[in-house]
Structure 1
Amino acid sequence: MKLTVEQVGGPFYNESNAPPEQVAATVDPPAEVVDCAAAPGVGTETEDVPGVQPDLPAALDLEIKLARCVNPSTGREEFRLQQRIAYNDPELGRIVVPADLANWTTDLTSVPPFLTWLVPKTGAHLPAAILHDGMVLNKNEPCSYIAARKIRRDEADCVFRDAMLATGTPRIRAWLVWAAVTAATMHHGQWNPDATWQKGYYRLALWSTLAVITVLGVWSILDVLDVSVPRVPWMGDHLGPELLGGLAGSIVIPLMFGTMWGRFRTAGWIIGPLAAILLVSVLPIVFVGAFYLLAEKLQQFHRGLARAVAVLIISAAVAAFVAFLVVDCSF
C-alpha cells in the first residue's frame, strides 16, 4: 500500500535521493550525516517493496510518498519514505530526513490509540512528525538525518513544534504535542548525555508528577462517587462544589508540580493539568482497550476457550441484571 501526501508552500520540500554524503556536501556549512539505522534487511517485511526511487521533478514544494511496512517482530505498522524531505529551521538550518533512505522507517505520529481524537496520526503536522522521527533516537527507533551538526533531543522537540506551527497545525495542538514529546525526552534523558544527576532529577520530577496526578485523580473520582474514602479537602459535599473543586485542583496542583520540571517547566504546566483533567475520561477508555487486547490475545491463543469465557461473562451479566431487577422490584 502506498500513501501520497502533497503540500504546497511552507518550509518543507523534497530532497535528493542521492547517497547521504553527497546530500551533506550540498549543505552550507558542510553537514554531518547522523545515521543510527539497523543493518539493511533487518526489521521489516514490506507489502510493496519500495526500493529507492529516482529524484522526482519539483512540481510541488513537498510530496510525501510512503510505502507501508509491517515489522515482523512487533507486528507494528510502519512506513518507508520514497523520497527524502528537507526542512529549513531558523536556528539549525537545513535538516534532511532520512539519511538511510533504503532502511529507515517511521510510524508517522506516535500517539496512543486512546488519544488519536486529540492528535490524529496524519494531518498538517505529518511532515513535522516524520522530521522528528528522523531526529530522535528511541529504543529500537534509529535516528537518521543530515544536518550541519548533531541535534540534541530537546532541540529536536523544539524543531518539531516550530515545524508543526509552520505547516498550519493549530497552535494549541502543536504545544500539546511538544509537551508530550518533551516529557518523553525527560524520561529517556537523551537531551544531555553528560549530566547523569540531572537525568535522575528530571525523571523523578516527571514520574512523581504523574503519580501524584493519578493518585489524587482516583481519590477525587471515588469522592464524587461517594465511596467510603476520606473526603478530598478541596472538594465540597455536594455534586456542584465537588466538580468545581475537583476541576480547580486538577489545574492548581499539577501547575505546582510542573514547576519542579526546571528547564522543561513549560511542558509540565501543559501536561500536568491536561493529564489531570483527561484522567476521568481516559481511565474508562484504557480499561476498555485493555479488555479488548486481552480478548484478542485469548482468541488467538484458543478460540474455544475465548468462546467459553464470553459465554461465562454474558451469563454472569444476565444473572446480575435479573438479580438487581428482582431486588429493586421487591422494594
Structure 2
Amino acid sequence: MGRFFDVADGGPVRLEVRSVDGRDFTLLRRIGYLSDDYDQPFVVPIDLERFRTDFASVPWIFTWLVPRSGRYAAAAVLHDAIVVEGDYDGPVIDRVEADRIFRVALRELGTPVLRSWLMWAAVSIATMWTMPQRRWRWRGAVVLLIGMVTAVGLVATGDLFDLWSVLPWMGERSLAAELAAGAAAAVVVPSVLALSWGRFARAGIITGVALAFLVHVTLAIVALFGLYRLAERLVSGPTPSVAPADR
C-alpha cells in the first residue's frame, strides 16, 4: 500500500492545478506518494517544461462510466508522471510497474473496486500499445481482442432477435436461456482471447468482458453523439478553422 502527501509540509495531499490550454494542466504544488514497496517517495514536480497532466485519459465515449476527474484525480496525476522517466523525482520504474502503483493508489483514494480495475486495464492497454519490444505483436493482440469481442457481440445480438442463427451457444431457445448463454459467452470468449495478451492477460480479461457487456451502450452513445454533432452543424454552421483576427 502507500499514501499521498503534500511535499511542502508533509500533510494531506493538496491537488492545486493551473490550466495550460483547457485540456492539460500543470501543478501549483508538488504532490508526493510513498509506496510501501520503495524507500523513496515519488514526487510530481511543478515544472511546466517537465510535466503536465490531463487527469484520467479517458476516451470521450467512456466518460459516462469513468469521468476524467474525481476522487482518483491525485492517482491519475501521479500515473501521468511516473509512466515517463524524467517527469518525476523518485525511484526509477518501468511502465508496467507504474500501472500497478496506479491501481493500488486508486484503491487507497477510495475508488470503487470495479472502476479501479477497469482504469488499470485501460492504462495497461496503453502500455501494451507503446511497448518497444515486439510492438506489433502487442498491438495485434489488442486489436484482435477488441475486434473479435465487438463482432461476436453484434452477431449474438442478431441471433437473440432471430435475425439469423449463427452462434452455437444461442440456438433456438427461450429468451431467458439465450440471455443466460450470451452472458456466459461474454465471459468465456474474451477470457480465451485474452490469453494472447501474455503477461497482460488479466487486463485483457477485464477489457474483453467489460466490452462484451457494454458494446451496445457504447455504440448507442456514438450514434447519439453523431446525431448531436450533425444537429449542431446544421444549426450553427461549420466551425471556423482559424479564429477571426482582432479588430
With the length of structure 2 as denominator, give the TM-score of the two structures. 0.85
Q: Does 1:204 align with 2:140?
A: yes
Query: Equivalent of 2:171, from 233, 236, 244?
Result: 236
Query: Equivalent of 2:104, from 162, 171, 183?
Result: 162
Contact 1:224/1:239 (CA < 8 Å) preserved in 2?
yes
Query: Equivalent of 1:278, from 200, 203, 214?
Result: 214
Q: Deviations over 1:26-64 (max 9, x none)?
A: xxxxxxxxxxxxxxxxxxxxxxxxxxxxxxxx3842111
- Structure 2 counterpart of 1:226, which letter? D
Query: Which structure 1 segments of 5+ residues have no match?
Result: 1-9, 17-57, 71-75, 304-331
Query: Equivalent of 1:64, from 15, 19, 44?
Result: 15
2:245 matched residue in structure 1:
none
Distance 1:127 1:293, change over 3 A: same
Distance 2:232 2:26 in 1: 28
1:325 matched residue in structure 2:
none
With the length of structure 1 as denominator, give the TM-score of the two structures. 0.65
1:87 matched residue in structure 2:
33
Q: Does 1:15 align with 2:7?
A: yes
Q: Deviations over 1:149-196 (max 9, x none)?
A: 2x211111111011112222222221121111101111121xxx3x3x
Q: Deviations over 1:9-31 (max 9, x none)?
A: x7111225xxxxxxxxxxxxxxx
Q: Does 1:134 align with 2:77?
A: no
Q: Does 1:301 align with 2:238?
A: yes
Contact 1:236/1:245 (CA < 8 Å) preserved in 2?
no
Q: Deviations over 1:94-138 (max 9, x none)?
A: 11113624663211111223323332322221111000111235x
Q: Percent of aligned pairs with the same residue?
A: 37
Distance 2:34 2:182 in 1: 44
Distance 1:302 1:98 in 2: 37
Distance 1:276 1:132 in 2: 27
The CA RMSD over aligned residues, in Å, is 2.4
| Post-superposition offset of 1:245 | 1.6
Partner of 1:11: helix, strand, or coil?
Answer: strand
| Post-superposition offset of 1:248 | 1.2
| Post-superposition offset of 1:300 | 4.4
Count of matched residue pairs: 236
| Post-superposition offset of 1:302 | 7.1
Contact 1:133/1:143 (CA < 8 Å) preserved in 2?
no
Query: Which structure 2 segments of 5+ residues have no match?
Result: 241-247
